Amino acid sequence: MTFNHMKPGLFNVGSYQVSGAPWITGSNTIAAGTEDHIVFPRTAKAVTVINTDAAGSDDLRVHFNSTSSGNVVGGLHFVQLNSATDSIAFNVKCKEIFVSNVGPGVGAYTVIAELTSIPSDQMFELTGSGLTQ
């Protein structure tokens, strides 16, 4: 009897049906006017970003491309977290995100991701309409 073993992959439904492995990171030192690039060790199936700035004075932006690529800022291709404990949850597959601080001081955030077993090098670049154009 022969069994076919499906390997994890971007279009393998089972890779997304199982619970994701937890992964958490963050920063409490993102300076005004700067951007952090968060790269996941494997493809994520969901990502949550929380503004943890205790003072609540720094606005953070979450986006899938660097602000230096395409029209991320001008095209409003970001979600803005305006106050402490403000958060956004994305149910999307991705291998990286960017967090930028547009506030006047030092900001803080936490990133929580559900990781699949899909290697991140299998994930395609997220560009185009709604992302960089």
Of 113, 52, 57, nearest to 86 (Cα)?
Answer: 52
Maximum separation of any 2 CA atoms in the chain, in Å: 66
Q: What is the pTM of this model?
A: 0.92
Q: Tens of pLDDT along 98-121?
A: 999 998 999 999 999 999 999 999
**Under a CB-based contact definition with an 8 Å cutoff, are residues 27 and 98 in contact?**
no
Q: What is the mean pLDDT of residues 31-38?
A: 97
Q: Tens of pLDDT along 46-99?
A: 999 999 998 877 899 999 999 999 999 999 999 999 988 899 999 999 999 999
**Under a CB-based contact definition with an 8 Å cutoff, are residues 12 and 37 in contact?**
no
| HSE-up (13 A, CA, CB side) for residue 50 | 11
**Under a CB-based contact definition with an 8 Å cutoff, are residues 89 and 105 in contact?**
no
User: Per-residue pLDDT for 7 more than 90?
Assistant: no
User: Per-residue pLDDT for 1 more than 90?
Assistant: no
Of 3.40.50.2300, 3.40.50.720, 2.60.120.10, 3.40.47.10, which CATH number belongs to 21-119? 2.60.120.10
User: What is the chain's length?
Assistant: 133
In DSSP terms, which residues pair with 87 in a beta bridge?
50
CA distance 53 to 12: 38
Domain extent listing, the chain: 21-119
pLDDT given at position 114: 98
